[in-house]
């Protein structure tokens, strides 16, 4: 009998393929739906809040579009969990008046749902699962919690890699920006016989008066002298 990969093993394979965070999370949502036996119009979605960066939200294909408008908004099950609240189980969406923003899903084939926290370090995440059956999930949602715990192990790694890549990209951009400003300052110093600080002050004055980033002002100065000057950093 062939060995079935664990959730973590499946996700590590996806991670090793070098996919973007949103693509990785979409794969994770699909794996969760598969493990829980949720086929369209049922399925899963994942939302992750990251510090100083936009929220990542992905959904399995086939979920009703009406869910996407409200599932992580104020007062929704997913929004409650993302806000630090307890996990939420809704046995019958049509009969439960606590989540009125989600009742549109009942008219699109969704009858029950569960939202559980993804235990992430340095961020908050939630796995939301939907079913076309009433009382599809156990009151404690132990099966969904187990899948969420397994997902979180790989999601933490994916988010760590993404954070490091984002920091590296920001650092490279900062280095390139600093280099072009230094080049432009050197050009102005040579043309005007002034100090480096005076040259930078000239760039900053033009930047403020024209409401243009100082890097773009500097790039214009460099380009006016030679289009052969490069500030690209090779990895």
SS3 of residue 9 by DSSP = helix
How is residue 41 written in tokens? 């119009």
For CA atoms 32, 34, 38, 39, give the dihedral sign. positive
Residues 180, 160, single domain; the answer is no
Residues 93, 51, single domain; the answer is yes
pLDDT confidence of residue 116 = 95
Residue ending a domain, choose from 165, 187, 216: 165
pLDDT tens sequence across 172-207: 766 667 788 888 888 888 888 888 888 888 888 888
Of the pLDDT bands very low, low, confident and very high (cuts 50, 70, 90), residue 120 is confident
Taking every pair of Cα atoms in the chain, the longest distance, rounded to a whole number of angstroms, is: 80
For CA atoms 176, 181, 185, 187, give the dihedral sign. positive
Rounded Cα gap, residues 44 and 127, in angstroms: 7
pLDDT confidence of residue 104 = 63
Structural domain that includes position 47 = 7-165
Residues 84, 197, single domain; the answer is no
Residues 65, 79, single domain; the answer is yes
How is residue 12 written in tokens? 């590590």
Residues 24, 134, single domain; the answer is yes
Residues 58, 131, single domain; the answer is yes
Whole-model pTM above 0.75? Answer: no
Stretch (H or E) spanning 225: helix 214-225
**C-alpha separations of 235 from 20, 165, 171, 176 in Å:** 19, 13, 12, 13
The CATH number of residue 45's host domain is 3.30.450.40
- Per-chain mean pLDDT for the chain: 82
CA 190 to chain centre: 46
Of the pLDDT bands very low, low, confident and very high (cuts 50, 70, 90), residue 126 is very high
Written as one string, the DSSP assignment of 89-113 is EES-TTT-GGGGGGGGGGGGT--EE
């Amino acid at each position: 009998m062939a060995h079935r990969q664990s959730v973590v093993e499946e996700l590590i394979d996806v991670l090793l393929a070098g996919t973007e965070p949103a693509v990785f999370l979409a794969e994770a949502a699909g794996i969760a739906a598969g493990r829980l036996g949720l086929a369209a119009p049922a399925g899963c979605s994942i939302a992750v809040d990251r510090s100083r960066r936009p929220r990542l939200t992905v959904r399995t294909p086939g979920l009703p579009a009406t869910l996407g408008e409200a599932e992580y908004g104020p007062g929704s099950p997913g929004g409650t969990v993302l806000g630090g609240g307890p996990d939420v189980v809704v046995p019958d969406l049509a009969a439960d008046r606590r989540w009125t923003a989600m009742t549109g899903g009942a008219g699109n084939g969704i009858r029950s749902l569960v939202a559980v926290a993804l235990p992430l370090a340095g961020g908050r995440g939630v796995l939301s699962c939907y079913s076309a059956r009433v009382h599809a999930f156990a009151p404690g949602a132990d099966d969904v919690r187990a899948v969420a715990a397994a997902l979180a192990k790989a999601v933490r790694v994916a988010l760590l890699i993404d954070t490091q890549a984002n920091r590296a990209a920001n650092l490279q951009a900062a280095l390139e920006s600093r280099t072009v400003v230094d080049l432009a300052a050197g050009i102005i110093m040579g043309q005007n016989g002034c100090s480096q600080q005076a040259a930078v002050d000239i760039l900053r004055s033009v930047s403020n008066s024209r409401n243009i980033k100082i890097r773009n002002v500097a790039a214009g100065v460099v380009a006016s002298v030679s289009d052969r000057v490069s500030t690209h950093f090779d990895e």
